[in-house]
């Protein structure tokens, strides 16, 4: 469990922009409205005497009517598509069919399993209409994905439809802004909603730090900012993407990259999210344990996915969500645990003696580490248990006991919403 590369994502992430083909205007319902929390608990319009302003309430109901109509009876899942013969990536092996995906957003894809997820999706969906990649370092992502020998170099059309969005996941505001920019890109490039959101970016066992929003750094980057992005993306996920001829793929899916390191924190009956909003001299920072905090942030990913799945199922939107453990992968996620000269070499697939050393150490290569994320992303609705936690490709795991407690899942989900609302208030 304390292996040097105990893993999930690849690092911090996000980028600039590559222009794509301009599509039809995106429906206004897909554009996130302020506040960024938009989604789950609409506030009532109050009058000065504490009552409800009837006109404002009627206007709010009218705005929500199209959404209610669209979620009352979600469309049946679209038929699976055949796997292209040219799909040779490790994560595509053994697939017998994939669900339609026309648009996708992935965080943390400038290296590691994020870049490999992009590579696999590019092979499975060569006609993807818009791919948004949210990364911290856009030039690094541009070189890795769009360079002459990049992951998408063999598909110039998809490379042209790829949009790099810069994001600093230490900041909730930056995460929301990146999600809003992603929605705008979907509008501009494809004219439709979002089929797939992969929350892959992360940081592991970093030195003690507090973000500008007052959160412990690992919880902020790994969980809270991705939760903020999710809320902003929900209208687009509920709408889903469409093909060039207007065929709808159905509601979208969110995949959250977690880790079995969550077991470090799963002894808790509830996650201590409110406690991370403290001064550096107060608990839990006075006894900061980097691995425990990492485990809590990874459990948070899985619990948030379960909570999102439950809320969207209750609303009959058709949006699905799962969490995954990619394995112990040799990526730059372990940069805080390695000498600087070695940490910088962990973002690309190892070769030669390095590849042999990875195998001897029992680690997965980045292409192998992307398998579980990719399979969770492309599996048909009938092959996926909404809200579940997956390991080793397509194996549903019950190791995270908190996921079996709907009350605890709901409580943590609401705690997350409250924490994000406090930042944006």
> For the chain, which domains are there?
93-424 (3.40.50.720)
Three-class DSSP category at 343: helix
Closest residue by Cα to residue 180 from 194, 160, 200: 194
Supply φ then ψ for residue 176, to 5 degrees. -65, -45
If you compute the radius of gyration of the chain from its CA atoms, what whole number of angstroms results? Answer: 20
d(CA 216, CA 239): 34
Half-sphere exposure (Cβ direction) of 253: Cα atoms closer than 13 Å: 27
Q: What percent of the chain has pLDDT over 70?
A: 69
**The sheet that has 320-325: what strands, in order across it?**
162-166, 130-135, 103-107, 196-199, 253-257, 320-325, 389-391, 395-397
Q: Give the highest mean pLDDT range of 11-20, 70-79, 400-409.
A: 400-409
Rounded mean pLDDT, 265-280: 57
For the cut 90, the answer to whether the pLDDT of residue 189 exceeds it is yes
Mean pLDDT of the chain: 78
What the block records as the tokens of 102 is: 């026309």
Rounded mean pLDDT, 266-289: 60
d(CA 275, CA 265): 14
For the cut 50, the answer to whether the pLDDT of residue 7 exceeds it is no
For the cut 80, the answer to whether the pLDDT of residue 192 exceeds it is yes
CB 376 within 8 A of CB 384: yes
Task: Convert the pLDDT of each residue in 321-369 to its tens digit.
Answer: 999 998 666 555 444 444 443 444 444 444 554 444 444 445 778 888 8
CB 121 within 8 A of CB 84: no
Residue 397 CB burial class (10 angstroms; 0-12, 13-18, ≥19): middle
Alpha-carbon 152 to chain mean position: 21
Per the rule left: phi > 0, alpha: psi between -120 and 50, beta: everything else, 395 is: beta
For the cut 70, the answer to whether the pLDDT of residue 259 exceeds it is yes
* Model confidence, pTM: 0.78
Per the rule left: phi > 0, alpha: psi between -120 and 50, beta: everything else, 153 is: alpha
Alpha-carbon 121 to chain mean position: 15
For the cut 90, the answer to whether the pLDDT of residue 136 exceeds it is yes
Alpha-carbon 79 to chain mean position: 24
d(CA 247, CA 258): 32
What the block records as the tokens of 310 is: 């439950």
CB 409 within 8 A of CB 305: no
Q: What percent of the chain has pLDDT over 90?
A: 53
Task: Convert the pLDDT of each residue in 12-37 to its tens digit.
Answer: 223 333 333 333 444 444 444 333 33
Residue 347: CB atoms within 10 A of its CB come to 21
Residue 209: CB atoms within 10 A of its CB come to 16
Three-class DSSP category at 202: coil
CB 112 within 8 A of CB 76: no
DSSP-derived letter for residue 322 is: E
């Amino acid at each position: 469990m304390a292996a040097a590369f105990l893993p999930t994502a690849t690092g911090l992430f996000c980028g600039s922009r590559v222009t794509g083909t301009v599509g039809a205007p995106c429906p206004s319902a897909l554009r996130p409205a302020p506040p960024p929390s938009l989604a789950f608990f609409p506030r009532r319009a109050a009058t000065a005497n504490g009552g409800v302003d009837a006109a404002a309430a009627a206007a709010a109901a009218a705005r929500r009517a199209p959404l209610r109509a669209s979620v009352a009876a979600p469309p049946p899942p679209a038929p699976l598509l055949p796997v292209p013969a040219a799909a040779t990536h490790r994560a595509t092996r053994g697939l017998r069919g994939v669900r339609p995906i026309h648009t996708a957003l992935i965080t943390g894809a400038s290296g590691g399993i994020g870049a490999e997820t992009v590579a696999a999706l590019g092979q499975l969906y060569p006609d993807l209409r818009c791919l948004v990649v949210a990364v911290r370092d856009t030039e690094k992502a541009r070189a890795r994905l769009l360079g002459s020998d990049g992951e998408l170099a063999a598909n110039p059309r998809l490379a042209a439809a790829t949009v790099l969005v810069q994001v600093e996941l230490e900041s909730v505001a930056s995460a929301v802004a990146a999600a809003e920019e992603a929605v705008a890109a979907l509008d501009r490039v494809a004219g439709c909603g979002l089929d797939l959101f992969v929350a892959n970016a992360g940081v592991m066992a970093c030195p003690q730090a507090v973000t500008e929003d007052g959160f412990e750094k690992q919880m902020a980057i790994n969980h809270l900012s991705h939760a903020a992005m999710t809320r902003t993306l929900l209208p687009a996920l509920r709408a889903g993407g469409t093909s060039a001829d207007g065929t709808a793929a159905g509601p979208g899916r969110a995949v959250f990259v977690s880790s079995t390191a969550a077991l470090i924190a799963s002894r808790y009956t509830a996650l201590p999210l409110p406690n991370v909003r403290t001064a550096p001299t107060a608990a839990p920072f006075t006894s900061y344990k980097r691995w425990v905090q990492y485990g809590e942030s990874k459990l948070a990913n899985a619990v948030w996915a379960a909570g999102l799945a439950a809320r969207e199922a209750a609303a009959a939107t058709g949006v699905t969500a799962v969490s995954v453990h990619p394995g112990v992968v040799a990526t730059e996620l372990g940069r805080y645990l390695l000498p600087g000269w070695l940490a910088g070499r962990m973002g690309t697939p190892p070769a030669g003696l390095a590849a042999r050393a990875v195998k001897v150490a029992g680690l997965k290569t980045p292409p192998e580490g992307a398998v579980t994320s990719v399979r969770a992303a492309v599996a048909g609705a009938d092959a996926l248990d909404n809200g579940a936690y997956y390991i080793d490709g397509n194996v549903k795991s019950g190791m995270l006991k908190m996921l079996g407690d709907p009350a605890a899942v709901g409580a943590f989900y609401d705690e997350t919403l409250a924490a994000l609302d406090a930042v944006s208030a």
